[in-house]
Chains A and B, each alone.
Chain A
Amino acid sequence: MNEGGEKRMEGNRHSREDKVILGVQVALVVLFYLFAVGVFVFVWYAFYRSVTEGDHPTHALILATIVSFAFTILTTVMTMIFSVIIKEGRKKLPENGGSANEIKIT
């Protein structure tokens, strides 16, 4: 197996190990998206059903709207965090091999 992949300097800027880690990180955020999509689907499907069955569509509409609004904010935050932090972290790659030497809160 690949030992000490971070220290590899020639050829790849990003070692295979880093690619795997990136892959898992992307998978995490994709899982979150799937979950958020699931929630959207659930609430709007419930609204659709309430309209077709004539079963208090107002309740379903209000709740679907509120939940969609909340989950839009949450998805935006997650996207922002994952994209910015991961991108910035990878930019620093050549200097510190993918990991921080020191946390400096400036």
Chain B
Amino acid sequence: MEVGKEGTKDEILYQPILKTGRGFYILFGLLGLVVLVALFAYFTQFRYGLGVTGLNSPIFWGVYITNFVFFIGVSHAGTLISAILRISKAEWRRSITRSAEVITVLVLFFGLGNILIDLGRIDRVFKVLAHGRFQSPLLWDVVSITTYLTASSIYLYLPLIPDIALLRDKVQGRLRKRLYQVLALGWVGTEKQIHYLEKSISIMAVTVLPIAVSVHTVVSYVFSMTIQPMWHSAIFGPYFVAGAIFSGIAAIIVAMAVLRKVYHLEDYFREVHFNNLGILLLTMTCLWLYFTFCEYLTVFYGAEPDEIKVFMEKLTGKYAPHFWFMVLTCFIIPFVILANRKTRTIKGTVIASISVNIGMWLERFTIVVPTLMHPRLPYGEASYSATWVEWVILAGCFALFAMIYMIFTKLFPIVSIWEVQEGREKARLEVTERLRTYLPL
């Protein structure tokens, strides 16, 4: 089987699929253990009831809903990088679109999963299909997330087809070959095939953007459509979407850094990629600060008693440590690292990204709990501390996500090989042509 001359340049991108080292199995096993413990934790909850969590009255929502919003937020990773950069024809996107799109598709399942875990009666979940009421923002969530999951799965699959065809021609194992033969849809790279594929990818890139915006907007509506103090805020829609893009970019950076190390992808995930993503992250951290500032200043000046109670709880009360740690990790650390060219290195952007992800989880948490702690009627002080069940399930989510991601990298190239090759062969001419349309050359 002949592999084109150009193909040998990208040989390293095939390696994870062709070979698996011991490190992979060890890590997979360890993560598997975490997942098993998490399954046990959920089984405990399923058997005895939500009482095994720290939830109570009036704090009916806690870690699970925080996880839900957080994971749905991270799912905006693929959309931003893939769709927006594709539409704006940014060439540096070529090696990173695939890893971003995989994050999106996978993490949506965990968002959905956490909502299901949070239900008091998960065995009745099909009642949502039989008796669903569209007046409820939760139903808007159901359709929006379903649409987004479908669209981003298609959007992951389409650019994967030519790569699957490359694998189909390369691998020897019978079972794998069958899998690739089926999924490659008979791709041979004819003009018609390429034309229709590119057209479809363009349609999807444009379609997936409004769907993605709608997803996190309706997630925010779950809170803002109630009349609870500091939930009923008009800014929640844009705030959540911006926050989602923010945590999405951070997630990509972390994923890329790990993949770069483990699969030796230094040539494909270069300083420039981390630098560019770092600048995007810097922009988003400033945007995050702006939105947060707007929200809190409005509450402060409005001085509505019920809202001020929640406000003070966040700034100086029981959740002050969470709130201020969030400000530190969402703005101060990322801004300091990313604003300075010298510290906006790969290591710097990764540290900033991990910080952002921690901060964004805390942001969701400080939105959910302090409001619930302060009902309008004077019921007296309530408090919430999550139990081992909730923390273990969160850890299990991360572990299972990593495991499935690892499996993906073993089946499909985590860098889009044909797009890299296309960039190498065609892009130079295209970009020169484009320059000609902008300026007299």
Interface residues of A (CB under 8 A from B): 21, 24-25, 28, 35, 39, 42-43, 46-47, 49-50, 55-56, 59-60, 63-64, 67, 70-71, 73-74, 77-78, 80-82, 84-86, 88-92, 96, 98-106
Per CB-CB distance, the 5 closest pairs between chain A and chain B, nearest first, are: A89-B186, A60-B134, A59-B134, A100-B188, A85-B185
Query: A48: shortest Cβ distance to chain B, in Å?
Result: 12
Contact B190 A102 (CB under 8 A): no
A85 touches B187 (CB 8 A): yes
A100 CB contacts on chain B under 8 angstroms: 165-166, 168-169, 187-189
> Which residues of chain B from 170 to 223 have any CB-CB distance to chain A below 8 Å in the complex?
178, 181-182, 184-194, 196-197, 199-200, 203-204, 207, 211
Chain B residues 303 to 354 lying within 8 A of chain A, measured CB to CB, are none
Interchain CB contact under 8 A, B185 and A81:
yes
| B21 CB within 8 Å of chain A | no
Contact between chains at B181 and A63 (CB < 8 Å): no
Query: Interface residues, chain B, CB within 8 Å of chain A?
Result: 1-4, 129, 131-135, 139-140, 143, 146-147, 150-151, 154, 158, 161-162, 165-166, 168-169, 178, 181-182, 184-194, 196-197, 199-200, 203-204, 207, 211, 418, 421-422, 425-426
Residue among A24, A50, A81 with the most chain B CB within 10 A? A81
Chain A nearest CB from B210 CB (Å) reads 9
Complex Cα–Cα for A98 and B132 (A): 47
A sample of 13 cross-chain residue pairs with beta-carbon separation below 8 angstroms, ordered by A number, consists of A25-B182, A39-B143, A43-B143, A56-B133, A63-B134, A64-B134, A70-B147, A74-B151, A74-B154, A84-B196, A89-B184, A90-B186, A103-B188
Q: Judge whether B185 and A89 touch: CB under 8 Å.
A: yes
> Is A42 a contact of B129 with CB atoms below 8 Å?
yes
Q: Which of A56, A80, A81, A85 contacts B134 (CB 8 A)?
A: A56
The residue in chain A whose Cβ has the minimal distance to the Cβ of B206 is A73
Tell me if B146 and A39 are in contact (CB < 8 A). yes
Q: Chain A residues with Cβ under 8 A from B426's Cβ?
A: 105
> Could you count the A-B residue pairs with CB atoms below 8 Å apart for me: how many are there?
137
**How long is the Cα–Cα vector from A38 to B184 in the complex, in angstroms?**
26
- Please state if A105 and B425 are interface contacts (CB–CB under 8 Å): yes
Q: Which residue of A lies closest to B191 (CB)?
A: A106
Closest CB in chain B relative to A98 CB, distance in Å: 7
Chain B residues with CB under 8 Å of A60's CB are 134
Q: How far is the CB of A89 from chain B (nearest CB, A)?
A: 2
A81 x B158 contact (CB < 8 A): yes
Within the complex, the shortest CB–CB distance from A5 to chain B, in Å, comes to 11
**Residues of chain B within 8 A of A77, CB atoms compared:** 154, 158, 200, 203-204, 207
A56, B135: Cβ atoms closer than 8 Å = yes
A79 to B275, CA, bound (A): 39
Complex Cα distance, B135 from A100, in Å, reads 52
> What are the residues of chain B within 8 A of A81 when measuring CB–CB?
158, 161, 185, 196-197, 200
In the complex, the chain B residue whose C-beta lies closest to that of A28 is B182
* B129 A85 Cβ-Cβ under 8 A: no
Q: Are A89 and B196 in contact (CB under 8 A)?
A: no
Closest A residue by C-beta to B189: A103
Q: A102 and B133: CB pair below 8 A?
A: no
Residues of B within 8 A of A78 (CB): 154
Residues of A near B211 (CB, < 8 A) are 70
Docked CA distance A70–B149 (Å): 12
Choice from A28, A50, A55, A63 contacting B143 with Cβ under 8 Å: A63
A55, A70, A73: the one contacting B133 at CB < 8 Å is A55
Q: Considering the complex, give the chain A residue whose CB is closest to the CB of B147.
A: A70
Residues from chain B with a CB closer than 8 A to the CB of A82 are 185
Which chain B positions have C-beta within 8 A of A64? 134
A34 to chain B, nearest CB (A): 13
Cα A56 to Cα B136 in complex, Å, equals 10
Q: Give B4's nearest chain A residue, CB to CB.
A: A102
B89 CB, nearest partner CB in chain A, Å: 16
Q: Chain B residue with minimal CB distance to A1?
A: B174
* Cα A44 to Cα B425 with chains together (Å): 48
Given contacts A77-B203, A80-B196, contact A89 B187 (CB under 8 A): yes
Cβ-closest chain B residue relative to A81: B200
Residues in B whose Cβ lies below 8 Å from that of A88 = 186, 188, 190, 192-193
